[in-house]
Structure 1
């Protein structure tokens, strides 16, 4: 009889996730290759978006999917182009183009992700403005606006940032509007001068809600938001983990049944163009 030694693999908290670390390096390589081969911003942008979409669709559970494109509200309002939408895959798409971009129902939208190759303070200001606009557009559906579970979340994933980290942090706090929308910024690689001696790290900027009130009418409504800057060995791993977790919390808060989804589907489009006639 042959006995096999059982191996145990478990990623330890506070250490690099070696699997996602390799994914991170591969995505950064694709972005750097594009930066060194062209000055066309659209090509550079797509070479930042596509590897991230491919990564997400490899690792996301089947209940979620990632795609670029637009969403449409039940009243017919069309969103701006969104780099990456995280969608509830139980909903059918309204359209899919040959380049993979889609038209999705607002009901199916969970998170919006903006991709930046080299984040600037000016980008931070615009991202907050865009986040507030998307939140207002999403508010057409009750519970989809705001910053609580069930609402649309917005994120910026930047591969690097142009100024020192302090400049990005100041812009995040200065232009932040956490009472109007939710926006997190993930930076895969901090500037070289902001790195520890032995490691390449990145991290996240986030407003943490503080709940001090005991007023029953304000349960679940934050009294204040505290800005937080974190540092991580593998920020892509943290981004993925928190994204999945938040998406499931959002789906749980919405609590849509398949019957609800069928009803939502009928709100967006009339699926016949010729009225039925008796022959």
Structure 2
């Protein structure tokens, strides 16, 4: 089997059998392409089924030497493991060369968040006299109210918004569906956008059910959301680097600081594992420690 054949079949396996999102498939295939490039640079004429554990160790060491973060190294190893498991499943390989490879220690970093006053400061900077401003207010309210990923926001469908019940159906990673609550303020501004702006657009075919659209009537891109937030943060005078994920982190952190159940937050965020959600409890502990330091007479 040649590398192009292996990559094509691996791509199909991830999409059809594993039902991974296009972004995840692209990342996995890109990781295997990096391995192929490494072999070419090292002048190693090895096919996909001829790669040894030692070669993979050298490949990962090279990535580390190039300055790739521990998190990125661990993700690359995950892609390699998926690829060689696929080859074994297809009876193209007997022994998995990744079996004895261990991912580097990634640790856990606390995600950037906004305080509630900073969220209000961000929202106050929006010019609501423009169509773009009304759209920006609606999408920010939805992001902060429901903790959506930017891809989930861009893919949000009108038919999946249940305003009367205060819920939205979201399609997350791995095409997994979940119901998330959406607050009254978010619904109010979403309605302003849908009726006052979106209803007057020349909507292009295929975008009829997409909630957030560009001024040309096409589905809003993730890049547009990122750019909009970055400009807004500058206008608001916030020095933090703000992205759509910042609002998702803020949503989770503020819920947990307010006493929300961790499993409920896990469900709303669409995390497959509770350990992913537990990172936000570190922020909560910092908050509690600060309260004790400031107010406890023996601190």
Q: TM-score, normalised by structure 2?
A: 0.22
Q: TM-score, normalised by structure 1?
A: 0.23
> Greater share of helix residues, 1 or 2?
2
